[in-house]
């Protein structure tokens, strides 16, 4: 009885742009909360006000929105999958499948190179037959190569 490969556990990458910005933003909120708990002192109050102004700055809000978009794009990239189905001797994929979010793109780089030549028409007919029967494409995370 073989063991099934386990899905990789998700751990956010602490070095992504979104993660770094989110950590810095959280740190500023924590610093402000700490400064607000300290006994009143002119220097402490001044620093707390500077942090508060920065956090409430509309520009900072725009940056936070941009960072949220970056985080969404990074998450989509993390979830994106791709796979090839068969290769020609010259290394071109017969079929290339890419899945990102709720969209899948199926291409035939090999078919595109043949064009409307007799060989190209023959290739397209065979590919159509294969697709009609159904083909299975193993999808892997982007950048990962099959073993």
Cα separation, 137 vs 115, in Å, equals: 24
Alpha-helical (H) ranges within 13-135 are 17-37, 42-56, 58-79, 109-114, 118-133
Rounded average pLDDT over 49-74:
85
Cα separation, 28 vs 35, in Å, equals: 10
Of 7 and 121, which is predicted with more confidence?
A: 121
Percent of the chain residues topping a pLDDT of 70: 88
Note the pTM of the prediction, 2 decimals: 0.49
What SS3 state is found at 2? coil
pLDDT reported for residue 33? 96
Name the nearest CA neighbour of 93 among 81, 82, 84, 106.
84
What mean pLDDT value characterizes the chain?
82
Reading the block at residue 147, the tokens are 């073993």
What are the structural domain ranges in the chain? 17-79, 81-141
């Amino acid at each position: 009885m073989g063991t099934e490969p386990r899905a990789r556990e998700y751990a956010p990458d602490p070095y992504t742009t979104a993660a770094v910005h989110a950590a810095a933003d959280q740190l500023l909120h924590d610093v402000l909360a700490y400064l607000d708990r300290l006994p009143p002192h002119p220097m402490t109050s001044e620093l707390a006000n500077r942090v508060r102004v920065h956090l409430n700055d509309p520009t900072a809000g725009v940056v936070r929105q941009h960072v949220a978009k970056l985080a969404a794009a990074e998450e989509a990239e993390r979830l994106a999958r791709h796979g090839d189905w068969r290769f020609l001797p010259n290394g071109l994929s017969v079929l290339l499948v890419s899945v990102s979010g709720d969209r899948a793109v199926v291409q035939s780089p090999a078919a595109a190179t043949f064009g409307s030549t007799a060989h190209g028409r023959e290739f397209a007919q065979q590919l159509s037959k294969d697709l009609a029967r159904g083909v299975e494409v193993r999808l892997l995370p982007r950048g990962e190569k099959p073993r």
